[in-house]
Amino acid sequence: MGVTREMWCLSALYSAGTHEAREAHEPVVLSHMGFMRLVSQMGLSEFTRGDPIFADEAVLRDTYRPDDLIGRDEELADYQDAIQPVFNNAPPLNVFLYGQTGVGKTAATRLILDRIEADQAKFDDLQVHAVEVNCKSCRSSYQVAVDLVNQFRSKDEEISSTGYPSGKVYSLLWEHLNALDATHCLIVLDEIDSIGSDDDILYELPRANDNGHVDDPLIGVIGISNDFTFRDNLSGRVKDSLCEEELHFPPYDAEQLRLILEHRVEQAFHDDVVDYEVIPLAAAFAAAESGSARQALKLMYKAGKLARKRGLEEVTETLVREAKSLIEEGRVKDELESLPTQSQLTLYTLLQLEAEGETPCKRKQIYERYRLIAKMADADIVTDRTIHDRLSHLRLKGFVEHDERNEGKAGGSYYLYELGLQRDVVEDALRENSRVSELFGEKEAEPTLDDF
Ligand SMILES: Nc1ncnc2c1ncn2[C@@H]1O[C@H](COP(=O)(O)OP(=O)(O)OP(=O)(O)O)[C@@H](O)[C@H]1O
Ligand SMILES: [Mg+2]
């Protein structure tokens, strides 16, 4: 049996006194310093080696690179087809790869790059150079261009992300590319949606050969995004140049997630630690919510960590349910904190309509209520189109769900929207984190536009 925290504290206090005091069972009076030292030690136990739950927990982390992707045969075959011109020594096709978060876009790209690296060695007249940039922290095409330039430079020669005119950064980039000893250069721009509407680089790079900036090597761009609105909003000239091949990775279903999890759990956990019903449950949860392999893996990892923390011998269904709530709370909290104000207001609008029993409802109704709420919050009132984009974005994050209705020729088709999370989860997070928190106190009476 383990020593409880209370027992440990008592024994620490007890042993801190004098021998006589202990013998006489007298209360021990500690100096302030002694007390502070004890308080700072409370709860810490000795680190030991060994883990009764995990055999190799790194297998469940996002940084782990799987050797193979389960349930992606068709998508990988399409991906390889798109790359095939490179092996025929033709100019590469520019590829736009999109799909929701956690569906294997980055993992597939890494496998493809590994494959290219291994197979090109068989051809004397082929030398493919790959550059991979994660654009997550890039807010503009300019910053992506700076990142790319720095990919070709040593640490001490890197250029700063401010201070150079954009024309100069591009010309440095063309210089580096022209200097490459390669027949082809594939440039992977992952999470490219971070650049927002400034998509200049997505025109410049795919056109670098045609526009005479780079003669040799032949340039191919692979743009990756999980933001569907970004794809829809790409400018016409970018769509023409970047999206020569569009690849879509759909969300995984419960069966695919089950297979993915089974494979990883076998390596990550010790034998007989994971209850047999746990994997299908975790797969079903992740399939219902997002179809994301990342989410399914995270759920198993969290459940395993809960078991380890509590000194349990098994990862049970109950732990998976608990892990799910904890992850959801954490995710909602984190993501709500970073949502732009207009998205928070959209969410607040849905929250209110839901509380009134008005959901699922049409976008028109959401927009009408949103206008009142934005006015109350003293925020800009954006267009119906922007709110539509915000709703799509919130849907991607799993905060909102929609259902398509079709009323034939007369009514046409439309979507009905509702919250994708429990009301109290959203409400708690909005109250605590968001700028709309003040609205909660104010809105007992039903406002109309006449109130303003
Ligand atoms: N088919 C699969 N088989 C095994 N593991 C997978 C599969 N698909 C995804 N994974 C794992 O799920 C996690 C998320 O995958 P990945 O990073 O490729 O997602 P993504 O589509 O790039 O998501 P995001 O848009 O958020 O960047 C990774 O740990 C990856 O190894
Ligand atoms: Mg990714």
**198-242 per-position pLDDT tens digit:** 889 999 999 999 999 999 999 999 999 998 888 888 888 888 888
Confidence of residue 34 (pLDDT cuts 50, 70, 90): low
370 in Cβ contact with 387 (< 8 Å): yes
What is the pairing mode between strands 245-248 and 128-134? Answer: unpaired
353 pLDDT more than 70: yes
Q: What is the pLDDT of residue 43?
A: 76
Confidence of residue 33 (pLDDT cuts 50, 70, 90): low
**How close are the terminal C-alpha atoms of the chain, in Å?**
66
Beta carbon of 103 within 6 Å of any ligand 1 atom: yes
115 pLDDT more than 90: yes
Considering only residues 43 and 245, tell me which one the structure prediction assigns the higher pLDDT. Answer: 245
3 pLDDT more than 50: no
Q: How far is the CA of 109 from the centre of ligand 2 (A)?
A: 9
67 pLDDT more than 70: yes
Q: In whole angstroms, how far apart are CA 102 and each of 286, 323, 352?
A: 10, 18, 30
Q: State the virtual CA torsion across 106, 107, 108, 112 in degrees, nearest 10.
A: 100
Confidence of residue 380 (pLDDT cuts 50, 70, 90): confident
Beta carbon of 253 within 6 Å of any ligand 1 atom: no
Q: How far is the CA of 263 from the centre of ligand 1 (A)?
A: 14
Q: State the virtual CA torsion across 261, 264, 268, 271 in degrees, nearest 10.
A: 70
Beta carbon of 268 within 6 Å of any ligand 1 atom: no
Tens digits of residue pLDDT in 117-138: 999 999 999 999 999 999 988 8
d(CA 332, CA 74): 33
Q: Is 30 helix (H, G, I), strand (E, B) or coil?
A: coil
Q: Which of 288-292, 318-322, 437-441 has the lowest mean pLDDT?
A: 437-441
On the question of a cis peptide bond just before residue 251, with omega within 30 degrees of 0, the verdict is no
Confidence of residue 356 (pLDDT cuts 50, 70, 90): very high
Q: What is the pLDDT of residue 21?
A: 42
Q: pTM value?
A: 0.73
- The closest alpha carbon to 11, from 40, 31, 38, 47, belongs to 38
Ligand 1: which of 62, 97, 103, 112 to mutate, most ligand atoms within 8 Å of CB? 103
Tens digits of residue pLDDT in 246-262: 999 999 999 999 999 99
18 pLDDT more than 50: no
The Cβ of residue 97 has, within 10 Å, a number of other Cβ atoms equal to 26
What is the pairing mode between strands 413-419 and 400-406? Answer: antiparallel
Confidence of residue 2 (pLDDT cuts 50, 70, 90): very low
Q: What is the pLDDT of residue 102?
A: 96
Tell me 404's DSSP state.
E
Beta carbon of 69 within 6 Å of any ligand 1 atom: yes
Take residue 47 and report the two structure tokens written for it. Answer: 């680190």
Tens digits of residue pLDDT in 165-179: 999 999 999 999 999
Beta carbon of 353 within 6 Å of any ligand 1 atom: no
Stretch 77-102: mean pLDDT, rounded? 96
Largest pairwise CA distance in the chain: 94
Please name the residue ranges forming H helices in 91-152.
105-120, 141-151
Q: What is the pLDDT of residue 32?
A: 52
Q: What is the pLDDT of residue 242?
A: 87
Q: How far is the CA of 52 from the centre of ligand 1 (A)?
A: 27
Question: Which residues face 3 on adjacent strands?
Answer: none
Q: Which of 8-17, 103-112, 305-314, 336-345 has the lowest mean pLDDT?
A: 8-17
Confidence of residue 7 (pLDDT cuts 50, 70, 90): very low
Q: How far is the CA of 103 from the centre of ligand 1 (A)?
A: 5
Q: In whole angstroms, how far apart are CA 60 and each of 116, 179, 254, 319?
A: 26, 40, 18, 17
Q: Which domains does the chain have, with CATH numbers?
A: 5-41 (no CATH), 73-248 (3.40.50.300), 253-336 (1.10.8.60), 339-451 (1.10.10.10)
Q: What is the pLDDT of residue 76?
A: 97
d(CA 410, CA 363): 18
Sequence-separated contacts (24+) of 164-173 with Cβ below 8 Å: 166/141, 166/142, 169/142, 169/145, 170/145, 170/204, 170/213, 173/145, 173/148, 173/149
331 pLDDT more than 70: yes
451 pLDDT more than 80: no
Dihedral sign, Cα of residue 353, residue 354, residue 357, residue 358: positive
Q: What is the pLDDT of residue 438?
A: 81
Q: Which atom from ligand 1 is nearest to the alpha carbon of 72?
A: 1
Q: Any idea which residue has 């790319």 for tokens?
A: 148
Q: Any idea which residue has 């299908």 for tokens?
A: 280
